[in-house]
Amino acid sequence: MTAQDDDRFLGLALSLGRRGLGRTAPNPAVGCVITRAGRIVGRGWTQPGGRPHAEVMALAQAGAAARGGTAYVSLEPCAHHGKTPPCAEALIAAGIARVVAPIEDIDTRVGGAGFAMLRAAGVEVTTGLRVAEAMEDHAGFLINREHGRPLVTLKLALSLDGRIATATGESQWITGPEARRQVHAMRARHDAVMVGAGTARADDPALTVRDLGISHQPVRLVVSRRLDLPLMGQLARTAADGTVWICHGRDADPQLIEAWQGLGARLIAVEGRGRQVDPAPMLTALGAAGLTRVFCEGGGALAASLLGADLVDRLVVMGAGLALGAEGQPALGAMGLDRLAEAPRFTLRDTRPCGGDVITLWDRAPG
Q: Which residues are catalytic?
A: 55
d(CA 327, CA 27): 45
- Provide the mask over 39-78, with x wherever binding to Zn ion is found by CB under 5 A and - wherever it is not: --------------x------------------------x
- Cis ω for the linkage preceding 299 (within 30 of 0): yes
By the rule CB under 6 A, 27 interacts with ligand AOF: yes
Paired with 360 in beta bridges are 317, 351
Among residues 51, 210, 250, 349, the one that binds ligand AOF under rule CB under 6 A: 51
Measured from the CB of residue 62, what is the shortest distance to ligand AOF in angstroms? 15
User: How many residues at the interface with ligand AOF, by CB under 6 A?
Assistant: 16
Measured from the CB of residue 132, what is the shortest distance to ligand AOF in angstroms? 20
Paired with 219 in beta bridges are 192
By the rule CB under 6 A, 28 interacts with ligand AOF: yes
End-to-end CA distance of the chain: 39
By the rule CB under 6 A, 82 interacts with ligand AOF: yes
Which one of 104-112, 183-191, 259-267, 320-328 is the stretch in contact with ligand AOF (CB under 6 A)? 104-112
d(CA 191, CA 21): 8
Which is closer to ligand AOF, CB of 115 or CB of 346? 115
Beta strands in 174-285 (DSSP E): 192-196, 219-223, 244-249, 266-270, 272-273, 276-277
Which one of 50-58, 187-195, 205-213, 279-287 is the stretch in contact with ligand AOF (CB under 6 A)? 50-58
C-beta separation of 174 from 158 below 8 A: yes
By the rule CB under 5 A, 87 interacts with Zn ion: yes
Among residues 22, 42, 50, 102, the one that binds ligand AOF under rule CB under 6 A: 50
Residues in contact with 96: Cβ distance below 8 Å, sequence separation at least 6, in sequence order? 34, 66, 67, 69, 70, 71, 123
Measured from the CB of residue 113, what is the shortest distance to Zn ion in angstroms? 12
Measured from the CB of residue 218, what is the shortest distance to ligand AOF in angstroms? 18
- What separation in angstroms does the CA of 257 have from each of 57, 243, 272? 42, 16, 16
Residues in contact with 125: Cβ distance below 8 Å, sequence separation at least 6, in sequence order? 98, 99, 100, 101, 115, 118, 119
Which one of 24-32, 117-125, 152-160, 199-207 is the stretch in contact with ligand AOF (CB under 6 A)? 24-32
Among residues 77, 150, 218, 299, the one that binds ligand AOF under rule CB under 6 A: 77
Among residues 25, 30, 239, 246, the one that binds ligand AOF under rule CB under 6 A: 30
**Residues in contact with Zn ion by the rule CB under 5 A:** 53, 78, 87
